[in-house]
Amino acid sequence: MSSSIRPLVVTVPTAELAGDLAPLPDGVEVLVWSVEGPAPRDEIDLVVPPYMKMADVLTHLAGVRVGLVQGQSIGYEGVADLLPSGMRFANATTVHETSTAELAVALTLAAQRRLDRFAVDTAAGVWSPVFADSLADRRVLLLGYGGIGKAVAARLRPFEVELTAVASRARDEDGMAVHAVDGLPDLLPQAEIVIVTLPGGEATRHIVDDAFLSALPDGALIVNVGRGPLVDTDALVRHVERGRIRAALDVTDPEPLPEGHPLWGKPGVLISPHVGGASSAMRPRIARLVRRQIEHLLAGEEPENVVIR
């Protein structure tokens, strides 16, 4: 009497991602499922929901036996409230650090060198030179020294900045002296540029508040590529309207930023629509992560990046 072994069942939201996973070991069945409509199997070992749409689809996993849900974003605030009980969830650490760090540096350079103004002048056919602030020689405070923060730091070093890193606890890491967050009151008055890469959640909500902004020197630049609620938007608007603070934001609170919001069209404000991870760098990196997770599951090993058990 012959026996058969059930293949490891993996669902991904797009045919492109399915193709990027090839070649895979024998014994792996990859199905394309957007996590909408009936599940293709009653038992699925690894589910990859669509990017930036988890809030709309996670409840559809109810009633399906799922070994691991692999998100495509680093942030996972709110996922625990939507994920059916008993499921493990892994975030996408290693996928977005490169792209998000690129955008953080790009936003910083664009704000410093007034590329936002030049883009408007280009559309209007106007030639209007300015003498701009450099990134070189600036005192940059990096708020957050996780994966994205470290990637930003690595990209800033060739720009000849004076870099200070701040995180939840003080430490020396990779040759960088990291300050504890409770040292911010002493550090902010010297910071000309603040790049925020912290995760979201109640512990970090409004860490950039009125007191934080008030401690910065006039003309300081806030760059946020973390989460919108890290910044108290009302306080930021007040400082921007007074001409004290500039901002380059990939994330906002609320998000998307509604029509007519006071941040739109303000001098010294540059906004990108939450596209830190949305580049061609994402596709090969999410494929590599999913392949590694498949290999872990086949070997009976603990998956990477599990943040909800």
Catalytic residues: 227, 255, 274
Question: 4: buried, middle or exposed (CB in 10 Å: 19+, 13-18, 0-12)?
Answer: exposed
Question: What are phi and psi for residue 45, nearest 5 degrees?
Answer: -75, -35
Question: What's the sign of the alpha-carbon dihedral 118, 264, 233, 99?
Answer: negative
* Apex 51 CA angle, 48 and 57, nearest 5: 70
CA pair distance 256, 55, nearest whole angstrom: 15
CA pair distance 80, 78, nearest whole angstrom: 6
Q: Residue 278: which residues within 8 A CB-CB, separation 6 or more?
A: 99
Question: What are phi and psi for residue 123, nearest 5 degrees?
Answer: -65, -30
Which uninterrupted H or E stretch holds 12? strand 8-12
Bond prior to 23 in cis (omega within 30° of 0) = yes
Could you tell me how many helices (H) and strands (E) the chain has, helices first?
10, 14
Per-residue CA distances from 278 to 103, 196, 293 (Å)? 10, 18, 22
Beta bridge partners of 223: 195, 248
